[in-house]
Structure formats: C-alpha cells, structure tokens
A and B are shown apart, each in its own frame.
Chain A
C-alpha cells in the first residue's frame, strides 16, 4: 500500500446468532478508485456496506477512514467524515418535493447548527446547492414534483443526489441500477460514471455489464468472505468467480 487508504477494513466479522454474514473481511480501498463488489445473493455485500457506514456493529474487526479508527462511531459521525451512501431501497423524503429533498440534504453541509428562526426557504446557499444538484442528476424538470410520485429511475437519481449532497470522499452505492428500466439504464450508468470522478466508490451491483464498464477493481464475495479480486477482465475469466455464481445461482 503506497498512499493512505481512503477506507480500510480489518478482519470484519458479523454474526447473527449462528449465522455468519461477514467472515473476516479485510481490504484497503485506495483513494479515487471505483470498486465493483459482486457475489451471489447472501454473500454479505449489503452487510459489509452496513458495517462500513456504522449501521451494524461488527462482532469483530475494525473500520478506518483515512487511517482513523471509526469502529466505535455511529452513522452520523462517519457521514460527517465524508462517507456517503445510497440505499438499495430508495430513502427519500416522501411528502417533500424533489427540490425540498435536496435542499434539506444541503442543510447538513451549509449549517453547523440548524437555524431555528428563519424559514428554510430564505437561505440562498442551500437553494443554490440544491439547484446545482438537480442539474447534476438531471432532475431539473421534476424539481417541484413530490418525491413519492417520481418514476423509478428518477427516484434512483434523487437517491443518488441525496447521497452526493455532502460531496463525500467515499461513496457507497447499494444497487443503484436495481429496477431501472432499459430506457434509463445507459443514462443512469453515465451518471454514475460522472459523479464517481475524484471519489472512492464502492459499487454493489447485479448488472454485470455496468460493473464491468464502471469498475477499475472488482471484488468477489461469497459466504461473507472475499474470494477474489482484480481488474474486471481478469475477474470475468476467473474460474472461482464462475464457480461462485454457478454453484449457488444456477
């Protein structure tokens, strides 16, 4: 390892009763790279993500952000250290418009203490950031639509916008293409490529062609363990990977 890792995990293990969801997972994610994480269902990918952001406490092992041990920190503290995340099931604010969703997210980076007395509409800083993000994720025309009325693809774009609002150095994407229709697939993949520039990205995705196109390094997980890693082309040929998939999915 030459430079400090952006995110490093050390022998992470998560047990639920007798079931081991994550089994001694260690890896150092280098700054600015895009990692694709693949593996059959139940391989521990989402558990890994939950442990990395602080939502699940590991039974053993540690997590480091830029070599600071954050194992004892909860989700909000890690988020403030530059760890962003998009969820597999979109976690947007139903009942607020798309613009209001993004403006609320912008408040996290604009204010140290949330103002109590002025209307949230009257702060130009948050409005500007929200508008810029609308443009980035391509939702300008949906700005005033309630979040719960968005099409699936647009909901995904908003989810991504919320995760990007704090400009995280490390971005964890949990199946950002799940359920996105054929028409929007290329657009969303392009969007992922664009917003990943300059960040460390961990991408969990079942859509193989997207992973092969986006990822610089592919990690293959099975039964809670890292079983192989390398560049996408090598992983595609790797017999262990084939076995992992054919063994459980076929």
Chain B
C-alpha cells in the first residue's frame, strides 16, 4: 500500500513536468505546425541562467523569474528570427517545407554546444529550494518530498494561469482562432503574425518552468533535458498534439506509467514501455485521449 501511494505520487510529479514540456510543444505545434525540438535547448539555456542566479543569490524564486523572462525572449527570438525567415520559403519545395522542423533540430545542437562552451560539459547540481527528504507519515516513509510537492503545486498554478489566459481573455481567443484557422482569423482582423510569436513566448515560458522544476531532482548538464523533450513529446502525442488539456492529461498518464514501470518492473524497461504506451494510444485513440473525431463539413 505504501509502495502504491509512493508510486502514484512520484507518477504525478513526473507527469507534472512532462505536462509542462508537452504544453510547450503543443503551443508551438498549434501556432506554427512545427515540432520544436529546440524546446529542450531553449529550456537548458534558461535553466543554466536560473542556476547562475540561484548560486549567486540563493533566491530560488528570483531564478525562476529570470528563467521565465529568458524563456519568453528566447521563444520570441526563435520564432521571429528563424521561423519567419524559413516560412517565407516553405512553398518552394519538399526540402523547404521540412526546413523549419529540421532547423529546430539543428538549433538544439547549436544551443547544446554553446551552453557547453560557456558552462562546460560537466554535471552540476542545482540545489533544491525546499527539502528533498521523504515525508514520514505515521512512522512510515513515503518516497515523496517537499520538492515533489512543490513541483506538483507549481505545475497546477501554471496550468490554471494558462487556462485562464486561453479560455477567458481576448488574447487567448486570438491565440486559439489563429491556431485553428489562421486565414479566417486574419479575415476577422486578428494579426496572426504577432499572435504566433506570442504562442512561442508562452511555449518558452512553459519549457523554462519545466526545466527549473525538474533539474533539482536530477543533475544539470548541456543535454540533461533531452530526456524531458522525448517524454514531453510522447505526452503531447498521447494528448493529440492539438489540445492543451490533452497535453496535460497525456503528461500525467505517461508520468504514472513511467512511475509504475520504475517501481514494479525495472529501470531498464522504462524506454520500451513508454513507446509501447505511445503505440497503443496511437492505435486506440489516434486523435489523442481527448480527441473527438473531427466533424467537418465539405
């Protein structure tokens, strides 16, 4: 029983972080139709910035703030300077059509190298802002710490803020309209170009928060978030790649799955099992766990 509760709680923690990364990938996919492999790179830059702040000042929340600002700027920069240029040529042939996605993959490599040049390739420890000791309930140790709790709560807060922005504000409505039907959005007067940049900004913010939350549980190195990208992507696909609630749910399903495999099967089977989950979910619900079959008239 204790083991089961622990497994569930760890699953929720992992799932929270996967959800944030999945959210970042879905936001970019919806606004630009690009799978942004550089999201892990953007997040590693912001995590190193947070690391610098936290080692100098010791104030975790200041580090988060800087990571969020840097994440927003990086997201905007990648969209504005790289994506817009590439998208101008996207109709010119099959290679040009694929160029934006490949460019994000290239950018990931470039960012990793630059980060390695600045901070070195050695592993660093990003100290946790709160205790990482496991809670003891009624004399029994549960494999769940204040840090895990912080991760879950922060993710919940971020999700609430995002859902208010998307569902309750004019900006959110513009973002949704531009994502689903850019042409109709333009005919309605929405400036789709800047709105797209804002989509990348939100994605950058979500990725940055994911990076800062997950790193205290592991180590920091130029490619330490690559795994998060893979898990985030799988979560996004399970969620249907189009849906923000789907991305969150996909992240949680995946987090729980990973946690159960870790605890009851074995570490070596984590990777095969997430891809089995992915394949099954694609067969059973190809439009995502929340995806209804699209109803569209001719």
Bound pair: A and B? Answer: no
Q: Which residues on B are within 8 Å of A, measured CB to CB?
A: none
Q: Which residues of A contact B (CB under 8 A)?
A: none
